[in-house]
């Protein structure tokens, strides 16, 4: 995010007091107390062939873990969750349960109020982690070694499962801290108290995983070298590039990408020192756009607007996320695409054209409008960077099989960088886990 300078007088820090900022960035969904969890668990019908399981990308046995909470054994519930999703603690906080398991809940269909599966999952996993326990033990060493590139959800999930099977894992990441988007890309009010880092430390208790930070594929690491040194390679490198607006003036001072803004905020030790504009415009319609817009408002921006090129019902952000944004004072303008960013050096206005869509084809109407802006965030998607040329691509991502195998023998991939996913933390965890099982089977002669 650009610093406040004379070129961008509207972008400044200290708009709100430390006390107000602390309240604004408090936990979005406070943790259940034990009696609250018991009451919530009692609402579950414990369905046979429960639709919530089918709706979960990691196939957690949801009725079973809720029954375990109901019977007073939350640590057993946590193991049920973590067997399928080793990052179940973070997923309980950030997973869009309202469009996955909770939307499929029979209570939702019958009463319009689902069992709060996400909060129950958090209660179980937090109980186990707070006790300092790790429910899995490492198998005897296989003598095999695997390089996992990318310490985000897919890489962490893959590394843990491989280590559990007895393989030696070296986990590489380009950033100074592990966690990927869980650490750098999630709104601060969704993951408080440095939980992402705590979860990584807890996960590493399985043993057998060496972490090497500051190692970027294509610069510090090459796929050829990794293949020569290790028995298998898993790539969970995410999407590090940012799409262009393709609008005149987007290089102006005050225009930046929303991902970097969120990362800066997540790593800030003092939110009063973090600058934000007075009039903020966020371009995009996904979770990142909502996270950037809401956090701008929470930092003290007076006017925050999300502008999305298609209809509001087509936004990637869930209805819950959209309602959260509007409840915080964010305005959402749908059916408008960026045309230009205006200003004398620094951004002063963002110009948009109204759009219509027919058969998924977007068309400008020719009618334009301008929004006052001293800060514009791009949240229009990310692109793959640093993928080795030897790998086949599927569109703009690495082509993989259902189990994550790439076109190169001995190399697997998963998470946002791989084809077939939906760019959710929970899906990345599932892909890392499944790739680890396929790697294990291959290394042990199963294929």
Domain harbouring 78, CATH code: 1.10.1060.10
Tokens of 380: 């229009």
C-alpha count within 13 angstroms, C-beta hemisphere, residue 386: 22
| Residue 1 DSSP SS3 | coil
Q: How many domains does the chain have?
A: 3
Same domain, 289 and 346: yes
CA angle 114, 117, 119 (to 5 degrees): 115
**Contact residues for 82 (Cβ-Cβ < 8 A; gap 6+):** 88, 125, 128, 135, 136
Say how far residue 132 (Cα) sits from the centre of its chain. Answer: 25
Same domain, 99 and 186: no
CA angle 292, 265, 340 (to 5 degrees): 40
pLDDT number for residue 360: 79
Same domain, 313 and 259: yes
The CA distance from 236 to 239, in Å, is 9
Question: Which residue, 378, 401, 424, sits at the end of a domain?
Answer: 378
Same domain, 231 and 153: yes
Contact 10, 277 (CB under 8 A): yes
Q: Please indicate, yes or no, if residue 324 is contained in any of the structural domains.
A: yes
Contact 436, 165 (CB under 8 A): yes
Same domain, 259 and 321: yes
Question: Which residue, 79, 96, 130, sits at the end of a domain?
Answer: 130
**Contact residues for 418 (Cβ-Cβ < 8 A; gap 6+):** 154, 235, 397, 398, 400, 404, 431
Beta bridge partners of 218: none
Same domain, 372 and 401: no
pLDDT number for residue 357: 86
Same domain, 304 and 254: yes
In the DSSP assignment, the letter for residue 415 is G
Same domain, 46 and 117: yes
pLDDT number for residue 447: 55
Helix (H) or strand (E) holding 373: none
Looking up residue 417, the CATH number of its domain turns out to be: 3.50.50.60
Same domain, 305 and 271: yes
pLDDT number for residue 155: 98
Beta bridge partners of 355: 364
Q: Please indicate, yes or no, if residue 190 is contained in any of the structural domains.
A: yes
pLDDT number for residue 422: 78
Owning domain of residue 39: 34-130
Averaged pLDDT, groups of 10, the chain, 447 residues long: 52 95 94 97 94 96 97 97 98 94 94 96 97 95 98 98 98 97 95 96 97 96 97 96 91 95 95 96 96 98 97 94 97 97 95 91 95 97 91 95 96 95 90 98 86
CA angle 207, 211, 212 (to 5 degrees): 160
pLDDT number for residue 319: 93
Q: Please indicate, yes or no, if residue 18 is contained in any of the structural domains.
A: no
Q: Please indicate, yes or no, if residue 4 is contained in any of the structural domains.
A: no
Same domain, 210 and 86: no
Backbone angles phi, psi at 338, to 5 degrees: -70, 140
Same domain, 232 and 351: no
């Amino acid at each position: 995010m650009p610093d406040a300078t004379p070129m961008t007088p509207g972008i400044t820090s200290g708009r709100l007091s430390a006390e107000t900022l602390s309240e604004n960035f408090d936990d979005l969904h406070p943790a259940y107390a034990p009696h609250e969890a018991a009451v919530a668990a009692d609402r579950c019908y414990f369905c046979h062939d429960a639709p919530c399981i089918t709706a979960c990308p990691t196939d957690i046995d949801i009725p079973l873990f809720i029954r375990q909470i109901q019977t007073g054994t939350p640590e057993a519930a946590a193991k049920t969750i973590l067997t399928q999703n080793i990052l179940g603690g973070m997923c309980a906080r950030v997973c869009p349960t309202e469009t996955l398991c909770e939307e499929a809940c029979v209570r939702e269909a019958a009463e319009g109020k689902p069992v709060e599966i996400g909060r129950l999952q958090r209660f179980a996993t937090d109980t186990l982690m707070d006790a300092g326990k790790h429910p899995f033990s490492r198998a005897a060493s296989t003598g095999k070694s695997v390089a996992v590139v990318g310490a985000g959800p897919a890489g962490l999930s893959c590394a843990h499962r491989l280590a559990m099977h007895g393989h030696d894992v070296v986990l590489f990441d380009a950033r100074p801290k592990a966690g990927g988007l869980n650490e750098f890309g999630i709104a601060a009010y969704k993951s408080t108290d440095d939980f992402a880092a705590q979860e990584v430390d807890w996960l590493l208790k399985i043993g057998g995983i060496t972490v090497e930070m500051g190692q970027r594929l294509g610069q510090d690491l090459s796929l050829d070298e990794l293949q020569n040194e290790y028995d298998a390679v898993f790539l969970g490198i995410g999407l590090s590039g940012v799409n262009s607006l393709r609008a005149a003036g987007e290089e102006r001072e005050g225009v930046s990408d929303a991902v970097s803004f969120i990362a800066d905020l997540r790593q800030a030790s003092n939110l009063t020192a973090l600058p934000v504009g007075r009039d903020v415009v966020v371009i995009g319609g996904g979770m990142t756009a909502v996270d950037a817009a809401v956090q701008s408002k929470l930092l003290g921006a007076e006017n925050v607007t999300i502008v999305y090129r298609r209809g509001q019902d087509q936004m990637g952000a869930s209805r819950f996320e959209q309602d959260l944004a509007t409840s915080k004072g964010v305005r959402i303008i749908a059916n408008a695409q960026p045309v230009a960013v205006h200003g004398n050096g620094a951004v002063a206005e963002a110009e948009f054209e109204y759009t219509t869509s027919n058969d998924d084809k977007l068309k400008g109407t020719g009618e334009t409008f301008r929004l006052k802006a001293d800060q514009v965030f791009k949240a229009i998607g990310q692109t793959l960077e640093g993928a080795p040329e030897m790998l086949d691509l599927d569109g703009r991502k690495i082509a993989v099989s259902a189990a994550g195998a790439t076109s190169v023998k001995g190399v697997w991939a998963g998470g946002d960088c791989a084809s077939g996913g939906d760019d959710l933390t929970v899906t990345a965890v599932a892909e890392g886990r499944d790739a680890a099982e396929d790697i294990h089977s291959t290394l042990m002669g199963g294929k």
